[in-house]
Chain A
Amino acid sequence: MLCSCSSSVTTTLPRPKATKDILILGVGNILQGDDGIGIRVVEMLTQECLPSGVCVADAGTPGLELPLWLEGWERVIIIDAVHMGELPGTWRRFGPDEVRLIASDKALSLHELDLANGLALAQNLDMLPKEIIFYGMEPERIEWGQELSPAIEAALPGLLEDLKAELRKRE
């Protein structure tokens, strides 16, 4: 297995070198407690030995710019906090067939640019990757602070292992 141990997470728009390359995109605001789950996961990934052709990126809160992050990639994995009505720390992996985009077609302001709207915009621009996998984890506390809740800290290694298995599967 080829290894590309990267020590940093890119925050600028990455582009694939080959069509089979995979972009792992962490999304969220690390100043809002558990909203930073996606960013924490991509930070943890930089400590791992990753297969070649895997690019790890911190997209922060990309809003309308999400299509620019996705441009050119055919395989993308997105990680974010998501309200699913589950216990905090519960996570789910959604495959390409399970990701449904429902976005408002009205009433958009700068303050409503969530991931769903960003993905819907990408879809309408015909810029959605062929293969998109979404990891969502139920947050406990979304409020000012840089710490993750204990339930989230405890659950992150499980998500990370599944993500790594996902990457190994694709080699």
Chain B
Amino acid sequence: MSSMIEGWFAAEPEPHLIGGRCTSCGSYAFPPTAPSCPNPSCSGTELEPVSLSRRGRLWSWTVARYAPPPPYVAADPFVPFALAAVELPEERMVVLGQIHPAADLTGLAVGDEMEVVSGTLPGDDATPIWNWRPA
């Protein structure tokens, strides 16, 4: 399972997302799996792995109240979970992620500062994955 997102996220030394950055124009991409630079006005073909900003602003969020279908591995009984879209200032991109299950969502509002923390892949406690949490 861990190979599925190998190179997307690292828990050490601090939890951070790993994106691709074009060595020619500096455009970022997440996940870092693009075969070449996604910017059509750039002919770059090499994306180098880089740590993405650990903090950003909450673009929007939602809570899933019904269990998603497979391949999601839902807890039984299902426990609702939150998803956040967070805008990274330097990369100027929005990245989705689950909100850490221990996070307190009381008063959470669009525009709040969020940070990347380490969580686990749903249904696989041994595999770390990125989560968002109010900073």
- The answer to whether A and B belong to the same complex is no
Which residues of B are in contact with A by a Cβ distance under 8 Å? none
